[in-house]
């Protein structure tokens, strides 16, 4: 059983690598770099908060540089069941701003996890609020007490588009491979973790060719 679980991330990675070239040939490709930082803390045994921010370096056709900041509050309501919510601000090059509240529930058992999130997106100049549903499934495996690898996939679906008369592209798919390492730990509460990851994003666009993004990521997380 243990051997099967350990080889699961490798199997998914191989399948994804085989699937990637066929998509890239039929899609408009771009490369991005996301640098992510987060701070986490607990308020008691079952309640916590996370403040995260990022700088996303993107090519000009994708809107140029984007900066984000988001606060999420979470509470464990049963073993392996966590509910939460919060909101954030996304600011793109040129001053375009998006305000994005969200609500979510996360189920976890062992190395497996599933997160369901609903987002309300208020974008500058949009005729109405856009609503997006996100479903993510993931698996994580700890190689040592300080080093962990993870793989996850996510489906993003627009329940309501920002413009009823505009493009009706509704689905996006994401796949991510990550490696995290704890570089500092003191007691049970204070921990500094750094990580690297590769994120692939596939956008379906009915009126044009699909769009495919390669996104290397670097992250740092401080928990206290």
- Residue ranges per domain, the chain? 2-223
pLDDT of 164 higher than 50: yes
pLDDT category at 28 given cuts 50, 70, 90 is: confident
Question: How does the average pLDDT of the chain come out, rounded?
Answer: 88
Q: pLDDT tens digits, residue range 173-190? A: 999 999 999 999 998 778
DSSP E strands, the chain: 27-31, 33-42, 47-57, 66-78, 81-92, 97-109, 112-123, 130-142, 147-160, 171-186, 190-203, 210-223
First vs last C-alpha separation in the chain: 35
Q: pLDDT tens digits, residue range 31-86? A: 999 999 999 999 988 999 999 999 999 987 666 899 999 999 999 999 999 999 99
Q: What does the pLDDT read at residue 94?
A: 79
pLDDT category at 169 given cuts 50, 70, 90 is: confident
CB of 101 within 8 A of CB of 120? yes
Q: What does the pLDDT read at residue 134?
A: 98
d(CA 42, CA 40): 7
φ, ψ at 121 (rounded to 5°): -115, 115
CB of 45 within 8 A of CB of 77? no
Q: What's the average model confidence in pLDDT over 152-158?
A: 97
Q: What does the pLDDT read at residue 22?
A: 44
167 contacts: CB under 8 Å, gap ≥ 6: 161, 205, 206, 207
φ, ψ at 93 (rounded to 5°): -60, 140
Here the tokens at position 157 are 């679906």
Here the tokens at position 174 are 């994401």
Identify the CATH class of 2-223.
Answer: mainly beta
Q: pLDDT tens digits, residue range 94-136? A: 788 999 999 999 999 999 999 999 999 999 989 999 999 999 9
CB of 173 within 8 A of CB of 155? yes
Among residues 71, 12, 73, 20, the alpha carbon closest in space to that of 47 is found at: 73
Of the two residues 13 and 204, the one the predictor is more confident about is 204
């Amino acid at each position: 059983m243990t051997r099967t679980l350990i080889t699961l991330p490798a199997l998914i990675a191989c399948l994804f690598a085989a699937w990637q070239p066929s998509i890239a040939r039929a899609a408009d490709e771009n490369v991005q770099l996301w640098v992510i930082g987060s701070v986490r803390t607990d308020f008691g045994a079952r309640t916590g908060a996370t403040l995260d921010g990022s700088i996303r370096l993107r090519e000009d056709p994708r809107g140029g540089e984007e900066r984000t900041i988001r606060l999420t509050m979470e509470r464990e309501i049963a073993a392996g069941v966590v509910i939460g919510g919060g909101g954030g601000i996304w600011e793109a090059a040129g001053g375009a701003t998006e305000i994005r509240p969200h609500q979510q529930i996360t189920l976890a058992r062992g190395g497996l996890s599933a997160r369901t999130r609903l987002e309300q997106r208020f974008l500058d100049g949009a005729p109405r609020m856009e609503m997006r549903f996100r479903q993510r499934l993931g698996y994580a495996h700890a190689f040592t007490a300080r080093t962990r690898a993870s793989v996850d996939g996510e489906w993003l679906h627009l329940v309501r588009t920002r413009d009823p008369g505009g493009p009706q592209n509704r689905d996006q798919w994401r796949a991510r491979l990550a490696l995290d390492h704890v570089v500092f730990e003191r007691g049970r509460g204070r921990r500094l973790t750094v990580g690297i990851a590769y994120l692939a994003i596939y956008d379906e666009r009915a009126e044009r060719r699909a769009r495919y993004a390669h996104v290397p990521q670097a992250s740092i997380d401080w928990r206290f």
